[in-house]
Structure 1
Amino acid sequence: MAKLLFLFIVTPLVELLLLIEIGKAIGTLEVILLTIVTGVAGAALAKSQGLSVLRKTQQEMAEGRMPASNLIDGVMILIGGILLLTPGVLTDLLGLFLLIPWTRILMKKLLMKWMTHKIRKGQIHIHIDHRF
């Protein structure tokens, strides 16, 4: 519950304070334009990266391989695109990290390490249905 409180209350407040401070430094109009540019650029980058991952996924499936890594990439790209469309400095930085291929690789490694740790501690459970 505390994590959700942080996510939905504290993060927007920090973002707002950062935007106000940046606005004082470079100007209000510039901050508004920067927010629009990052949203548009983020949408374009998310689209291009998403299409690239989609092609790789289709190719792996056609070759009979499970595209697990590409599916994780796809989710990270979706989240990155949403973050870039959300106004704010921190969300833009995290969104860019999830969209740029070489930083996404680093983020994916961190995510996999975190998930492995949580699975070993019994905090994440994976249920497999063997009926198929």
Structure 2
Amino acid sequence: MRYILQLLLLLFILVPIIEIGVFIQVGDILGLGTTLFIVVITAVVGVNLLKRQGFKAWRDIQMSMAQGQIPALEMASAAQLLFAGGLLLTPGFVTDFIGFSLMIPEVRRTIAKQLMRRWQNKASGFSQSSHFHDGSEFNSYDNHSSAQRRQGRTLEGEYEERSE
């Protein structure tokens, strides 16, 4: 968690510096008016693309759920679209490039698969204990090899009532 916070702080500092540098370079080449016009146009086009892609992502989630499947990739795609929308509304050429890249379904699918593979590897061997508000507890234990876990969706565990 500390690593993620440090990375976010670094990005929070570096991204504006990079964007300012790119603005200066583009402004020197195209002029201030044209540069500002391009920034506004990319935001408008980005919002329209986001709207279309967002509706498609919502339909994909609904179709997946209607077929009885867990819409994991579709949800990851929708989250990336949300992030892309924020980037496209942020003034700048670098953030616009990243935002428009995330509008490409194949890019989102590739990133989602990589993230899910990473989360699945971290979750391997995970043991969880959940306490509910009524004092009961649910424990899930991992007694299977990782190959067996990937094949099925069986959850084994034990439930214990505790009185206070």
Judge same fold: TM > 0.5, yes or no. Answer: yes
**Match of 1:32?**
36
Which of 72-81 and 3-12 deviates more? Answer: 3-12
Higher relative contact order (CA 8 A, sep 6+): 1
Residue equivalent to 1:100: 104
- One-letter identity of the residue aligned with 1:56: D
- Name the CA distance, whole Å, in 1 between partners of 2:100 and 2:91: 13
Higher helix proportion (structure 1 or 2): 1
Aligned to 2:6: 2
Give the TM-score taking structure 2 as reference length. 0.68
Q: How many residues align?
A: 128
- TM-score of the superposed pair, with normalisation by structure 1: 0.83
Q: Is the 8 A contact 1:97 1:107 kept in 2?
A: no
Shift of 1:110: 3.8
- 2:84 corresponds, among 72, 80, 86, to 80
- Fraction of identical pairs, as percent: 34
| CA displacement 1:48-101 (0-9 Å, x = unmatched) | 001001011111112221111100000001101110111111111111111111
Between the aligned partners of 1:28 and 1:62, the Cα distance in structure 2 is 51
Gaps of 5+ in 2: 131-137, 140-164
What amino acid is aligned across from residue 25 of structure 1 in structure 2?
I
Instruction: Give the number of the structure whose residues are more often strand, by fraction.
Output: 2
Structure 1 gap segments, 5+ residues each: none
